[in-house]
Every structure is written in structure tokens, then in C-alpha cells.
């Protein structure tokens, strides 16, 4: 029973445990080769079309870019237009509005792009959109530093809807908006009770995100504060100690009754388990992988940050969008880049047969909100 319980919590804890930022003494993560499991390498080969050598090289380059972000963005100063990981060059890219800042940014090791609008201007335009009431045909909006614009995503079949057109018209008044179409509206990925290795609350099945000291973190739409949580075998794990949805999509559950936490993201027997060693945030453009109780391991890229997602239950802010697929029951599960925890699965559109996009709630925001500490190896 002890071994079975550990296995179940590994599955759950793989999704539930992120914690405080783990960094070197200088505050920046090391740029040495990431200690990724064979499972992550295999999933990147499958989902990103890379060779093993390319996957390993990309993880190393992404870790270096992540370590460089703070210094490079500081060098840009008020002229900062945003930053991202350029998979083509394998380097951190930084946008600036003042060409005289280019030399200082290049000196940090980043590549430079000169643009028209600062990150502050773009974020201000996005905040104005956050203050609007969005119809269901508007799926999300975010700042795209690569295109130096605010992207508003609308559901293709709803483009002619009067409310959608009115929202787009008001959004365009900022002068910084580009409209794109998406195939489907976003939805959360909770599911009714089915078999597998999940956690349950009421008749809902979700996935653990990352282990924290004293429990695990997961998605807020999976349960409300005080709600009881059961393991795969029906035994009591604990209860929701805090939960927020919509506006946010995060929660944490305490662990007891013979269950305990481990710093592992489960490979589900198809790939190797991944140890969690920190929560340094990967840049836009970096590779990222997800583990969940329905579709297990899948990988993709970080597409956008600080995106507002317009679910039917209400808008959720400060989300990270990825090209990784997910399906019902994957909610709350782990997003990880290399060995660094990134966030917990919230929702998206599509599936893992035809493809789609998925958002996660960043892990460090959850840890800071509840004063939690990530359980790391």
C-alpha cells in the first residue's frame, strides 16, 4: 500500500508541485546543460520534430536564454519592447525602440530588434482591453513582442457577430491591435470521473501540478476552498486550502492521510519521470512539455505570456499560451521546461489527435499568492 500510494502521488504530484524560485547564489539560473529526463527528450523529438541532439542543444540554449533575460532587459531600459527565445538562432532576442540601446543589449549576449512600441505601451493597451467586457466569440488577447503588437484572437465562426465586431472596433482604438482568428473557443480541461491515475473532488477529475511543502498546486476551476480531495484509489488526500477562478486559475491542496509529496513529474510508464529542480520562467519561444492524467506527455513551444483568456465562466488573466495539446482531465497538470516548473494546466482548445493550444497559470504566481515553497530535488 505504501508503494502504491507513492506511485499515485507521483502521478498527482507530477502535476502539483512547483514552488519558490530556485536559483544560483547570484539569483540567476545556471546556463549549464539542463538535467532533462530521457522522457522530455523523447517527447520533444515526437512533438517538435527534433533529433535527440537538436532537443538537447535546444534545452541548453533555452536555459542560457532564461539566465540572460534579467540582464538583457535591464540593459534595454525604458526602450524595452519585449523579449523572447529565437529558436532559429538559439539566442535570447530583445526588442528596443531606441537604436542607441542596441550595443548595450548585444553586450549581454542577446540579439537585438528595433521596433516602434515599448513593452510599457503594449502592456498599457492590453490593460485597456482587460477593462472591456468580452463576448464569447473573443477567445483571448495578449502582447506579442515579436510582432510588436497586441493580438486579439477571435473565433473564426463568430467573426461576423455584432458583439465581436464591437469589441474589435473598441480594441482597435488603441492603435496597437492586430486581430487573428482561432478555430475554437477556449475551455477548461476538467472532466467527469473516469479511470486512470487522477485526483478527484466531487465528480470531477483533474491532475496534480507540482508538489509543494505540505501539499500540491493545481487548477482553481477543479475545486473550491474546503472541498475534499481523493486519490486514484478513493482514499482521502486532503482538501483545497485556497482556490481562485475565474480572474485566476490556481489552487492548492494540503496532503495528509498517509500521502506525501515528491519533486517529480510523472512519465506514466511511457517516458522517464522528470525531477523538478526549480521554477525559473522560460521565455516566449522556448520549448515546454506537459504531463496530465488523460493525455500524459506532450511538448510544444511557449507562444505568449500575460494573455487574458475569455472562458465561458469569465476572464482569467496573466496566463501563458503554448502550442501543447491537452484534453479533459489534464486540468491542473504540470507544465515544465527542462527541469524547471512553469505552471499548471488551465484550459485551451483542440485535442491531442488534431492539435490545439493550451494555457497554463504560471507557477511562481501561485507560490507567491499562497506563500508556498516548491518541493525540488
| Residues designated as active site | 221, 249, 331
Beta-bridge mates of residue 357 = 349
H-helix segments, the chain:
2-16, 38-48, 52-76, 102-107, 119-130, 162-172, 363-370
Rg (CA), the chain: 20
- Is-contact 376 278, C-beta < 8 A? yes
Beta-bridge mates of residue 110 = none
| Length of the chain (residues) | 377
Label each residue of 39-104 as H, E or C.
Answer: HHHHHHHHHHCCCHHHHHHHHHHHHHHHHHHHHHHHHHHHHEEEEEEECCCCEEEEEECCHHHHHH
- ω into 138 cis (within 30 of 0): no
Residue 105 vs residues 30, 63, 69, 116, 265: alpha-carbon distances, Å: 20, 18, 10, 17, 36
Q: How far apart are CA 370 and CA 157, in angstroms?
A: 40
Q: How far apart are CA 311 and CA 181, in angstroms?
A: 16
Residue 14 vs residues 227, 259, 313, 362: alpha-carbon distances, Å: 21, 14, 27, 15
Q: How far apart are CA 352 and CA 318, in angstroms?
A: 24
Amino acid at each position: 500500500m505504501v508503494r502504491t500510494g507513492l506511485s499515485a502521488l507521483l502521478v498527482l504530484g507530477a502535476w502539483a508541485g512547483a514552488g519558490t524560485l530556485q536559483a544560483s547564489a547570484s539569483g540567476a539560473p545556471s546556463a549549464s546543460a539542463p538535467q532533462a529526463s530521457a522522457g522530455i527528450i523523447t517527447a520533444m523529438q515526437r512533438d517538435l520534430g527534433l533529433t535527440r541532439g537538436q532537443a538537447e542543444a535546444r534545452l541548453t540554449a533555452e536555459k542560457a536564454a532564461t539566465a540572460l533575460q534579467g540582464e538583457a532587459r535591464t540593459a534595454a531600459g525604458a526602450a524595452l519592447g519585449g523579449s523572447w527565445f529565437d529558436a532559429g538562432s538559439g539566442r535570447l532576442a530583445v526588442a528596443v525602440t531606441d537604436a542607441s540601446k542596441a550595443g548595450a543589449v548585444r553586450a549581454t549576449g542577446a540579439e537585438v530588434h528595433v521596433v516602434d512600441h515599448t513593452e510599457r505601451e503594449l502592456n498599457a493597451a492590453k490593460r485597456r482591453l482587460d477593462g472591456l467586457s468580452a463576448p464569447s466569440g473573443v477567445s483571448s488577447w495578449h502582447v506579442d513582442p515579436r510582432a510588436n503588437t497586441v493580438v486579439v484572437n477571435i473565433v473564426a465562426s463568430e467573426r461576423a457577430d455584432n458583439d465581436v465586431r464591437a469589441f474589435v472596433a473598441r480594441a482597435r482604438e488603441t492603435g496597437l491591435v492586430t486581430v487573428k482568428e482561432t478555430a475554437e473557443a477556449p475551455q477548461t480541461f476538467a472532466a467527469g470521473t473516469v479511470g486512470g491515475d487522477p485526483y478527484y473532488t466531487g465528480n470531477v477529475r483533474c491532475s496534480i501540478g507540482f508538489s509543494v511543502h505540505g501539499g500540491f498546486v493545481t487548477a482553481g476551476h477543479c475545486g473550491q476552498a474546503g472541498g475534499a480531495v481523493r486519490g486514484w484509489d478513493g482514499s482521502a488526500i486532503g482538501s483545497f486550502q485556497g482556490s481562485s477562478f475565474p480572474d485566476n486559475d490556481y489552487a492548492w491542496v494540503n496532503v495528509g492521510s498517509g500521502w506525501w509529496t515528491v519533486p517529480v513529474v510523472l512519465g506514466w510508464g511511457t517516458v522517464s519521470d522528470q525531477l523538478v529542480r526549480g521554477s525559473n520562467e522560460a521565455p516566449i519561444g522556448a520549448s515546454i512539455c506537459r504531463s496530465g492524467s488523460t493525455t500524459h506527455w506532450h511538448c510544444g513551444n511557449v507562444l505568449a505570456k500575460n494573455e487574458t483568456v475569455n472562458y465561458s465562466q469569465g476572464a482569467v488573466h496573466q496566463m501563458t499560451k503554448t502550442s501543447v495539446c491537452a484534453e479533459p482531465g489534464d486540468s491542473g497538470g504540470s507544465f515544465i521546461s527542462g527541469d524547471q516548473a512553469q505552471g499548471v494546466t488551465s484550459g485551451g482548445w483542440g485535442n491531442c489527435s488534431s492539435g490545439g493550444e493550451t494555457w497554463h497559470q504560471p507557477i511562481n504566481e501561485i507560490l507567491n499568492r499562497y506563500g508556498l515553497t516548491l518541493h525540488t530535488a
